[in-house]
Structure 1
Amino acid sequence: MRIAILDDDNSILELACTILTSAGHVCHPFTSGKEMLHQLRRESFDLLILDWQVPDLSGTEVLHWVREKLSPTLPVLFMTSRSGEDDIIAGLAAGADDYMIKPIRRGELVARVHALLRRAYPAQNAAEIVQFGIYQFETRASRVSVNEEPVEMTQKEFDLALLLFNNLGRPLSRAYILEAVWSRDIDIPSRTMDTHISRVRSKLNLRPENGYRLAPVYSYGYRLEQVVAE
């Protein structure tokens, strides 16, 4: 999962990123609230971790923007040294999903992050067979069928299709898709992603008549939408 972390203490940022990277996540550290907001306008993240007190823009100010502008289901964890009951209540009331008091403890951080991710993205922690209308994904075998008819797909095409369905209705930035499907192979040509998108759309016949639309999001990335029949 792609996690953005805001904290003005570089040693804490480094520790949190080390812990979460070893747990299999991709971390993006920020020491400035304004810098984080700039990236949130351009990039997709699966979870945010916010410090309360950051010099240029507080964690609560970032959180208010996130709750107003981004998906209401985007999980947010406050990670702060403010341990008073009133502080915890204020953080949760501002829209945080969980609250963790420093110093960072490895087991607690991983457990809280994984609990938030499981709640926010249940389809990605589901059984081996995942169903979306006429589309069925066998996650372990990397097989997909449409109306019970198997569709031949490469591994990357399967990974891309499942990523889109697991994030139905959510705009995904190109950087997010690149990291999720091609890992850290940032040297792939930019057209490679567009070619794979086109193949997935064609092979799965992602058309409104089948209930789905795979569309570009201008200057951002792509979104798979569910279309309600009129």
Structure 2
Amino acid sequence: MPTVLVIDDDLFVLATVGDTLRGAGYTVLTVQSPAEAFHLDLNGVAAILCDYNMPDMNGSDVLVAMRELQECRAPFIFLTGHSDLDDLLPVAIRYGAELLPKPVDPAELTRLLRKQIAA
């Protein structure tokens, strides 16, 4: 099954999303910070799910770094409870990322992920 990377500083979200994805048959890598993600070999990652609001780096910065510096083209999905999307939308549109609101609906998560990996 494809490998999905989940980046979120909230351990509860990592556990919940990880369990949902494993239950859907995915291999899951979870990290609590973008710095941890940048130390991974991203070549085998089929998709990236990333929190938008994190202490050291927001999700938009992570997406730009993944695309521009890491040359990672894996589909990218923002997990966000962020209500003001003015900063997020331009980057999401530019790089073809999707948005999934928190709290994450497990059925919507797996549907969107399957769609993104198939594209």
**TM superposition shift of 1:88:** 5.0
Structure 1 consecutive aligned stretches of length 4 or more whose deviation exceeds 4 Å: none
SS in 2 for 1:34: helix
**Aligned partners of 2:92 and 2:76: how far apart in 1?**
10
**TM superposition shift of 1:93:** 3.3
**TM superposition shift of 1:86:** 2.6
Classify 1:65/1:88 alpha carbon distance in 2 versus 1 (closer, same or farther; 3 Å): closer
**Aligned partners of 1:98 and 1:57: how far apart in 2?**
18
SS in 2 for 1:46: strand
Summarize deviations over 1:56-115 as a string: whole Å, max 9, x none. 22222211111113243x100011101345355234135252111100111110101011
Spell out the pairing of 1:57-136 with structure 2 (5 A cutoff). Answer: 57-68=57-68, 69-72=70-73, 74-93=74-93, 95-119=95-119
**TM superposition shift of 1:118:** 0.9
Percent of residue pairs identical:
24
Classify 1:96/1:80 alpha carbon distance in 2 versus 1 (closer, same or farther; 3 Å): farther
**Aligned partners of 1:94 and 1:38: how far apart in 2?**
25
TM-score normalized with structure 2 length: 0.87
Aligned residues: 117
What residue ranges of structure 2 are gaps of 5+ in the alignment?
A: none
SS in 2 for 1:24: coil
Larger Rg: 1
TM-score normalized with structure 1 length: 0.47
Spell out the pairing of 1:202-221 with structure 2 (5 A cutoff). Answer: none
Root-mean-square deviation (CA, aligned residues, Å) is 1.8
Whether 1:26 aligns to 2:1 is no
What residue ranges of structure 1 are gaps of 5+ in the alignment?
A: 120-230
**Aligned partners of 1:91 and 1:81: how far apart in 2?**
17
